[in-house]
Chain A
Amino acid sequence: MTSESDLAKRLHDDAPPETSKTASPARALLAETVTINRTAQELYDFWRDPANLAGVMENIDAIEVIDRDRSRWTVKAPAGRTVGWESLITQDEPGRAITWQSGPDADVANSGRIEFKEAGARGTVVTATIAYDPPGGTIGQFIAKLFQREPRIQTRRDLRRFKQLMETGEIATAARTRKQLEEEQV
């Protein structure tokens, strides 16, 4: 995931590589960071059970837990279709980080890592890094369509919902009626 230009850039500053203006890694890479006013252990525990994630992520049809490290993801796609993949936890660092990768039969190949770093009175700094096939290729275009928006924005919104749920016990909505809320969640 690190290209020559990433390395060159690091000689000049200390910013995370995915914020580089010039890096062109082999796979599209995005990272989003949010600070959550909870302990790293609490946040890790929530994230370690994939069944919890359907509530904070958009466009999820179902997440079935297969065993402790494997889960089957079904995601809504345009025109009422769905796409899916098996997700495998490849590295588990309790209270600190989780790394995953999609299985060989995935409709959309993807991999990612979520890290939880204690930040004192501010809570925990949570960074999600997600790699997927670069935009432009057919799969990339498909992903853009699939998420109906830029994956970065999608990820940012998912992290905000995660933060809301962990900090407040609920996910904020401006809906006034149950009907409006359901329309929002489609």
Chain B
Amino acid sequence: MRALTWHGKHDVRVDTVDDPEILNPRDAIIRITATAICGSDLHLYDGYIPTMKAGDILGHEFMGEVVEVGARSTLQHGQKVVVPFTISCGSCYHCGKHQYSACDNGNPADNQDIGRELYGQPMSGLFGYSHMTGGYAGGQAEYVRVPFSDVGPIVIPDGVEDEKVLFLSDILPTGWMAAENAQIEPGDTVAVWGCGPVGLFAVQSAFLMGAERVIAIDHFPRRLELARRFGAEAINFEETRTYEALMEMTGGIGPDAVIDAVGLEAHGFFVDNVVDQIKASMFLGTDRTHSIRQAILACRKGGRVSMPAVYGGFVDKFPLGAFMEKGLTLKTGQTHVQHFMPGLLNAIVEGKIDTTFLISHRMALEDAPKGYKMFHDNQNEVTKVVLKTDLAMAAE
């Protein structure tokens, strides 16, 4: 089969590799129909995530048709499914609490050592996301092996288009969980850093959860425009001093809840950011954390901080004092995708949530390297790239 493989910083290629096979009783093989490139994939593309190996197949946002099932899979041949990016067993203590991304068993035994060293306890497996999270082949490919197919994939009713449901795999539940973690109360003002897919879904979700105002922060006019369409007020951090603006816009109180949907790739010429960037590029092991610092400073006293943004290692100058003195609460984590999928699928089918507004580019799987480069270089225009296996490669 053809698959998008990682070979190093800014080097991804479409290669021919062996087709996946059923290896465990709960496995299924899915023929991919649509898959997307995620902001998290850019962390891999930029070489920020350790434990990658040349030839790894990327992709954790995907859907397709069931073509083969193991003896204990509950899926049926021909069903259309969306697959969550978290690989969770459904039967451990954490899965029982619906903390799927904390699953004890999704990550193969040997790969759990790294997570234990780095984080104290290993987390669940993830598709296409380094060997620390299992080293599983991802779904930017023609076929993928899906473990625990009886608890992960959600079956999509006939007649629902791929593009409407594809984002159930990651970014829609992630934006939703971000808003849920912000513990929004009616009348709240919520500020969201980053208007990428996660931030935009967080904006949409925050309004659905009763926020009175949402203030969206980014520097890409097109992305800010999308946030505005949902009713958000925009701050362009290149033109405006974000903290001052937030204070003025909230009567000096600060937002009741703040959401960091930026993460490792924080842009902007801020002193702390530049220092982080130099250290990261020299592998001195700090994450770039400008957005979370600013969110903590801006948040009102006693407010809530939600951090869907991904960080991998250690941080410098985390404003722990501000965090403590103001009595803030922080909630974060890889998304417990399986927990949110059924409710969000209903909301999509009932027309309460729109997801297709996000897609700016549709490309053939063969064109995936071009898609990565565009998504990386031109975030203003490129809000989301969907790769389709039935599209022909674009002419040069």
Interface positions of A (Cβ within 8 A of B): 35, 37, 121-123, 153, 156-158, 160-161, 163-164, 167-179, 181
CB-based contact B91/A167 at 8 Å: yes
Closest to B18 in A: A177
Any A CB within 8 A of the CB of B96: yes
- Residues in B with CB closer than 8 Å to A163 are 92, 104-105
* B391 cross-chain contacts in A, Cβ below 8 A: none
A170 adjacent to B24 (CB under 8 Å): yes
A-contact bits for B272-310, CB 8 A (1 contact / 0 none): 000000000000000000000000000000000000000
Cβ of A164: which chain B residues have Cβ within 8 Å of it?
Answer: 89, 105, 109
Cβ of B148 to closest chain A Cβ, rounded Å: 7
Which of B129-137, B162-170, B183-191 contacts its partner?
Answer: B129-137
Chain B minimum-CB-distance residue to A175: B23
Q: B35 an interface residue at 8 Å Cβ cutoff?
A: no
A177 contacts across to B, CB distance below 8 A: 18-21
Other A-B pairs, 20, CB within 8 Å; known A157-B113, A160-B109, A177-B21: A122-B93, A157-B109, A157-B112, A161-B109, A163-B104, A167-B105, A168-B26, A168-B90, A168-B91, A171-B24, A171-B109, A172-B87, A172-B125, A172-B147, A173-B147, A174-B111, A176-B145, A177-B18, A177-B20, A178-B23
Residue of A nearest to B111 (CB): A174
Task: Give residues of chain B (1-60) contacting chain A, Cβ–Cβ below 8 Å.
Answer: 17-21, 23-26, 57
* B72 on interface, CB distance cutoff 8 Å: yes
Known A-B contacts A37-B91, A37-B92, A153-B113; the reply to A169 vs B26 at CB < 8 A is yes
The 8 closest A-B pairs by CB, nearest first: A160-B109, A170-B24, A174-B135, A168-B89, A174-B136, A157-B109, A176-B20, A172-B108
Residues of A within 8 A of B21 (CB): 176-178
Asked whether B110 is an interface residue with its Cβ less than 8 Å from the other chain, the reply is: yes
**What distance in Å separates the Cβ of A173 from its nearest Cβ neighbour in chain B?**
6
Tell me the complex Cα distance, A153–B110, Å. 9
Q: How far is the CA of A9 from the CA of B134 in the complex (A)?
A: 38
Q: Which of A123, A168, A170, A172 contacts B107 (CB 8 A)?
A: A172
Across the two chains, which residue of chain A brings its CB closest to B97?
A: A121
Is A168 a contact of B20 with CB atoms below 8 Å? no
A174 touches B125 (CB 8 A): yes
Q: Which of B's residues lie within 8 Å of A, judged by CB?
A: 17-21, 23-26, 57, 72, 87, 89-93, 96, 104-113, 125, 134-137, 145, 147-148
Residue contacts A-B, CB under 8 angstroms, 26 given: A35-B93, A37-B96, A122-B93, A157-B109, A157-B113, A160-B112, A161-B109, A164-B105, A167-B104, A168-B26, A168-B91, A168-B92, A168-B148, A169-B72, A171-B109, A172-B24, A172-B87, A172-B109, A172-B125, A172-B134, A174-B125, A175-B23, A176-B18, A176-B21, A177-B19, A178-B21
The residue of chain A having its C-beta at the shortest distance from the C-beta of B109 within the complex is: A160
Contacts of A167 in B (CB 8 A): 89, 91-92, 104-105
In the assembled complex, the Cα of A164 lies from the Cα of B26 at a distance in Å of: 13
A158 to B113 Cα, complex, angstroms: 12
Which A residues lie within 8 Å of B148 (CB)? 168
CB contacts (< 8 Å) of A156 on chain B: these are 113
Rounded to whole Å, the gap between the CB of A11 and the closest CB of chain B is: 28
Distance in angstroms between the alpha carbons of A153 and B111 in the assembled complex: 12
Minimum CB–CB distance from A15 to chain B (whole Å) comes to: 17
A157 to B115 alpha-carbon distance, docked (Å)? 13
Measured CA separation A122–B97 after assembly (Å): 11
Residue among A160, A167, A176 having the largest count of chain B Cβ atoms under 10 Å = A176
On whether the beta carbons of B106 and A172 are closer than 8 Å, the reply is yes
Closest residue of chain A to B105 (Cβ to Cβ) is A164
